[in-house]
């Protein structure tokens, strides 16, 4: 594990391998360890995984999605990394969009892995507020035990209980204040459709047909925004394609990297 000091807060990350740099960004309630069984498929590349503020081994900070992108840029500068490809899962995709808005010259391309550029709707913001109040009252454990099973397709959960249990355990270990900070950051993020419309680099979309967090019907609208899109709709997959369809999503990302390079 490596770390960088960002305004007196330690941000943890792992940088491994050589070759084109792939930046894997985890989602809400996740840590860089979610990619542990995924990264071995990317031998021949340099991989960067980061614990966003409050996740895993990183200090908690009350920061926006845009500030998370600035933290990622600080790590890239620290490691002298130039051009790279971002793979952002869910909240990590929000960070990827924010990064592209500020630093697109550093990107070869970016992948929205069950993610989107849109701001929260009024209904979604109300849901975030409800979640914040629930965590304040009941803590992380009860919240993630209810949330995480809904992010997978039903058939996967029935046969992969250990995967779900490990994710719940990891999310439940987070400081409740960090969970609230992430919920607030997602609630308050701006609309970034213009980032996709103006993107000079290719954008990859991985969409789960059974995804309830970022519904496929909504996701399809964004795929028409960039000039260059790679669009993949996965049947029988929810919001967690890196677990639900590992081989398929690895192949998609590798093809996208080769296209970008």
Residue 96, pLDDT score: 98
Residue 46, pLDDT score: 98
- Is 145 a member of any domain? no
- Is 181 a member of any domain? no
- Is 155 a member of any domain? no
Residue 140, pLDDT score: 94
Residue 261, pLDDT score: 84
Residue 36, pLDDT score: 96
Q: Residue 105: which pLDDT band, with cuts at 50, 70 and 90?
A: very high
Cβ neighbours of residue 142 under 8 Å, at least 6 residues apart?
Answer: 134
Residue 103, pLDDT score: 98
* pLDDT digit string, tens, across residues 156-213: 988 899 999 999 999 999 999 999 999 999 999 999 999 999 999 999 999 999 999 9
- Is 6 a member of any domain? yes
Residue 190, pLDDT score: 98
* Residue 95 buriedness (CB in 10 A; 0-12 / 13-18 / 19+): buried
* CATH code of 208's domain: 3.40.50.1820
- Is 169 a member of any domain? no
Output the pTM of the full model: 0.97
Mean of the per-residue pLDDT values of the chain: 97
- Is 142 a member of any domain? no
DSSP 59-81: PP----HHHHHHHHHHHHHHTT-
Domain with 255 in it: 2-119+190-260
- From the list 206, 215, 219, the residue with the least C-alpha distance to 254 is 206
Task: Report the percentage of the chain scoring pLDDT > 70.
Answer: 100
* pLDDT digit string, tens, across residues 72-82: 999 999 999 99
Residue 15, pLDDT score: 98
* pLDDT digit string, tens, across residues 202-259: 999 999 999 999 998 888 999 999 999 999 999 999 999 999 999 999 999 999 999 9
Return the DSSP state at 190. P
- Is 70 a member of any domain? yes
Q: How does strand 21-25 pair with strand 9-16?
A: unpaired
- How many domains, the chain? 1
- Is 91 a member of any domain? yes
């Amino acid at each position: 594990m490596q770390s960088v000091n960002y305004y007196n807060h330690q941000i943890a990350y792992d940088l491994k391998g050589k070759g084109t740099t792939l930046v894997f960004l985890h989602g809400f309630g996740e840590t860089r360890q979610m990619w542990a069984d995924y990264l071995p498929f990317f031998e021949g590349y340099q991989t960067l995984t980061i614990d966003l503020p409050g996740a895993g081994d990183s200090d908690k900070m009350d920061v926006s999605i845009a500030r998370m992108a600035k933290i990622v840029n600080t790590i890239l500068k620290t490691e002298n990394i130039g051009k790279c490809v971002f793979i952002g899962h869910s909240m990590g995709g929000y960070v990827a969009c924010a990064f592209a808005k500020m630093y697109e010259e550093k990107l070869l391309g970016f992948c929205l892995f069950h993610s989107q550029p849109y701001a929260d709707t009024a209904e979604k913001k109300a849901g975030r507020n409800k979640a914040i109040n629930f965590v304040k009252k009941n803590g992380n454990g009860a919240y993630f035990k209810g949330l995480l099973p809904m992010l997978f397709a039903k058939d996967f959960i029935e046969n992969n209980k250990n995967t779900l249990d490990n994710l719940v355990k990891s999310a439940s270990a987070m400081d409740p204040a960090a969970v609230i900070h992430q919920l607030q950051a997602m609630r308050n993020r701006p609309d970034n459709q213009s980032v996709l419309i103006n993107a000079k680099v290719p954008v990859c979309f991985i969409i789960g047909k059974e995804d309830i967090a970022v519904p496929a019907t909504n996701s399809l609208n964004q795929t028409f925004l960039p000039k260059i899109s790679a669009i993949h709709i996965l049947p029988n997959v929810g919001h967690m394609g890196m677990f639900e369809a590992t081989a398929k999503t690895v192949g998609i990302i590798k093809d996208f990297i080769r296209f970008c390079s």
